[in-house]
Amino acid sequence: MPFATTRDGVEIFYKDWGPKDAPAIMFHHGWPLSADDWDTQMLFFLANGYRVVAHDRRGHGRSSQVWDGHTMDNYAADAFAVVEALDLRGVVHIGHSTGGGEVARYVAKFGEPAGRVAKAVLVSAVPPLMVKTEANPGGLPIEVFDGFRKALADNRAQFFLDVPTGPFYGYNREGAKIDEGVIQNWWRQGMMGSAKAHYDGIKAFSETDQSEDLKAISVPTLVLHGEDDQIVPIGASARESIKLLPSGTLKTYPGFGHGMLTVNADILNADLLAFVKS
């Protein structure tokens, strides 16, 4: 399996599909998943003539299960290790949820002046800040994230069934068409990773203020968010992010939930392709 090595010695697994001279798209997955969560998008863009790359964040999927370094800074540096190893340039970076935070930090920190970044897409993404603070009154109370930590520490396997069965894909909504394969695939990806990485990752995705990252992104940026997102509520995320992005476009989806890239892939893929080609 292909791996890139970070500057602090972590082995990062990645997938690299398609012609090396094709325009490249790099995908950044959400918590607590892996590069596999992008399979539908990767096959779609591969069929449309693109080179597609996705990696497992440290402690997730097939990457090294190191006990420390589970911060947004290191997540971005891990992604850069893959970009350096493959010498990718002019890349469109697409991130979902925590991966959206990773993209924002990556583009702000590594995007200029090397010309490695062409565009960015933040899908159901956590920026600018998830947790409620005095300066961020629309965020979620810290008790919500403390509850995540307790559920993970008490019984991670059950917690990783409860999340996709319920709010992640909107399967707890009346009339929802439940796909057991989607639930099992979410569980499979989550359980491949490290409990320590997942535990520490909750702090990374909820308490990292990325306001300055967003302000620093100069490339065209598309923000996509479901209006019924029960994991990352749209009011404190996408609707605030668009105010900070110098060159941002916001598109929202009535009734769509957090996992819309999977359960509404036909619609999302078409919108992503239109932006990438624009």
Is 28 one of the catalytic residues?
A: no
Contact 251, 259 (CB under 8 A): no
User: Catalytic annotation on 55?
Assistant: no
3-state secondary structure of 245: coil
Contact status, residue 258 vs residue 167, Cβ threshold 8 Å: yes
258 is catalytic: yes
Which of these is catalytic: 60, 229, 237, 241? 229
Nearest alpha carbon to residue 112 among 213, 222, 8:
213
Alpha-carbon distance of 12 to 278, in angstroms, equals 31
Could you tell me the two tokens for 14? 């990645």
- Indicate which residue of 97, 194, 237, 241 is catalytic: 97
Helix/strand/coil for 226: strand
Report whether the peptide linkage leading into residue 128 is cis, meaning its omega lies within 30 degrees of zero: yes
For residues 258 and 231, the answer to whether their CB atoms sit within 8 Å is yes
- Beta 24-28 vs 91-96: how paired, if at all? parallel
The residues carrying an active-site annotation are 97, 229, 258
